Amino acid sequence: MPDIQAPRGTQDILPEEQPWWDYVRTAAERLCREFRYEQIDTPAFEDVALFKRTVGGETDIVQKEMYVFEDRGGQELALRPEATAPVCRAYIEHGMHNQPQPVRLYSITPMFRYDRPQAGRYRQFHQFNVEAIGDESASVDAETIEILWRLYEELGLTGLTLNLNSIGDAECRPRYLEVLRDYYRDKLDRVCPDCRGRFEHNPLRLLDCKDARCQGVIAGAPALADYLCDACAQHFADVKAYMDALGIPYVENPRLVRGLDYYTRTVYEVQPLEEGGQSTVGGGGRYDGLIEMIGGRPTPGVGFATGIERIILNLKRQGMPLPDRSKLDVFVVCQSPAARVSAFKLASDVRRSGFSAVVGSADRSLKAQLRHADSLGASYAAILGERELAAGEVTLKRLNDGSQETVALDGLPQRLSGGR
């Protein structure tokens, strides 16, 4: 072991893991093209105020999990713990309200949270993140949910539950929070210490507590759905009607709230089978007040984030075979030091005609080079020894059945094209 290792909660994504990442990334990008979402990349760090103001000063993310540092110029910065606030900042900063609305954006990028590392929970992790900014229609909420659901479907993730709720807006939520506080007031001696704090600072999160002591109290709490104003109730009904039309199964979960302060109306989360709230694969919702919080004109928005590590973990858990690693077309076996330059040139010609090629080491035996070719999953070995060199030829061996033929050196690319 080296005496310096990867920081706790981070991981090296090794070449043998990359096929999983390709598999997920490719599906996500294909869907974004289908729905015409365009890629955006924002910086890995931002002014810390961006997250304090939007995610919320009372949230775990801001209080316990953000990587905050002062740069050499004395500016307080934070490594990005989530993508929505940065994307909204970019929306304002680049005048995207002048474009046709909603502006549809996505990113696939690392996030940083000082979380307690465990399976599927890291301090640097990657999210596929989708945002539709500038349209409050329920159809846009439904569109984002459809992308998330289609992603899991296309990847072959099974046993998922889509939980759906509406948490109202600035008009109806305060009224509900009063009702919720009234309900909790004489039960505070029965709930966990964290919930006593939530009662004061963030009462909606009372519903989200995982502590066993609090579950009975949560079960009896008044449901937010009963306190929605007419506009929010209609919006929620519309979202559900779109879901029904698409045949996407969901569970209406009146206890579902999301951890961050900026959510309004629709919230949703996808849970894998037999797992608690700690293992959510993806979640999102509407955030109609966020852009105003950071100085933009009132602009609605909706979106989701899904963790790539967690998707891969669940695919592996359900026994999905590893997607194919990228294959090699030709391994050029170099059987004599005199053939080195010709082998090198042959590989270069093969690549220029659109095939992949690797050259073996002339210092190693034929057998060792063929083993190497096999371990790279090569389709062909092109064997170049002194005899072949003298004749201007190469022996082309097909590795899956061992069949061999002789091909002119300069005819190999053509032979490969014909043999596809």
Q: Residue 266 corresponds to which tokens in the numbers above? A: 């629709």
For residue 102, say if its preceding peptide bond is cis, omega within 30 degrees of 0. Answer: yes
Closest residue to ligand AMP, based on beta-carbon distance: 307
Q: Tell me if 286 contacts ligand AMP by CB under 6 A.
A: no
Among 136, 310, 332, 407, binds ligand AMP (CB under 6 A): 310
CA 305 to chain centre: 7
CB of 387 to ligand AMP, least distance (A): 56
Q: Tell me if 280 contacts ligand AMP by CB under 6 A.
A: yes
- For ligand AMP, give the closer residue by CB, 83 or 357: 83
Q: Tell me if 151 contacts ligand AMP by CB under 6 A.
A: no
Beta bridge partners of 39: 106
Among 51, 125, 227, 250, binds ligand AMP (CB under 6 A): 125
* DSSP three-state, residue 229: coil
Stretch that binds ligand AMP, among 114-122, 198-206, 218-226, 344-352 (CB under 6 A): 114-122
Q: Tell me if 203 contacts ligand AMP by CB under 6 A.
A: no
Q: Tell me if 309 contacts ligand AMP by CB under 6 A.
A: yes
Q: Tell me if 281 contacts ligand AMP by CB under 6 A.
A: yes
Instruction: Return the DSSP state at 337.
Output: G
- For ligand AMP, give the closer residue by CB, 125 or 331: 125
CB of 383 to ligand AMP, least distance (A): 47
Instruction: Return the DSSP state at 156.
Output: T
- For ligand AMP, give the closer residue by CB, 104 or 310: 310
Site for ligand AMP in 65-84 (CB under 6 A): 82
CA 298 to chain centre: 28
Q: What whole-number distance in Å separates Cα of residue 84 and Cα of residue 61?
A: 14
Stretch that binds ligand AMP, among 112-120, 157-165, 371-379, 410-418 (CB under 6 A): 112-120
Beta bridge partners of 121: 118
- Helices (H), ranges, 2-116: 18-35, 48-54, 60, 84-93
Among 59, 107, 127, 299, binds ligand AMP (CB under 6 A): 127
- Helices (H), ranges, 259-365: 290-293, 308-317, 340-352
- For ligand AMP, give the closer residue by CB, 152 or 380: 152
- For ligand AMP, give the closer residue by CB, 294 or 334: 294
- For ligand AMP, give the closer residue by CB, 60 or 169: 60
Site for ligand AMP in 288-307 (CB under 6 A): 305-307
- For ligand AMP, give the closer residue by CB, 81 or 289: 81
- For ligand AMP, give the closer residue by CB, 251 or 408: 251
Among 97, 121, 240, 255, binds ligand AMP (CB under 6 A): 121
Q: Tell me if 265 contacts ligand AMP by CB under 6 A.
A: no
Stretch that binds ligand AMP, among 141-149, 275-283, 314-322, 326-334 (CB under 6 A): 275-283
* DSSP three-state, residue 411: helix
- For ligand AMP, give the closer residue by CB, 60 or 388: 60
CB of 124 to ligand AMP, least distance (A): 8
CA 11 to chain centre: 15
Q: Which residues contact 225 (CB under 8 A, 6 or more apart)?
A: 165, 166, 233, 236, 252, 254
Q: What whole-number distance in Å separates Cα of residue 53 and Cα of residue 57?
A: 7
Instruction: Return the DSSP state at 281.
Output: -
- For ligand AMP, give the closer residue by CB, 259 or 411: 259
N- to C-terminal Cα distance for the chain? 44
Nearest to residue 257, comparing CAs of 247, 248, 249, 267?
Answer: 267
Q: What is the CA radius of gyration of the chain?
A: 28
Among 86, 102, 134, 283, binds ligand AMP (CB under 6 A): 283
Q: What whole-number distance in Å separates Cα of residue 132 and Cα of residue 291?
A: 12
Are 329 and 356 within 8 A, CB to CB? Answer: yes
Are 82 and 98 within 8 A, CB to CB? Answer: no
Task: Kindly list the residues in this chain that would bind ligand AMP in the complex (CB under 6 A).
Answer: 82, 113, 115, 120-122, 125, 127, 259, 280-283, 305-307, 309-310
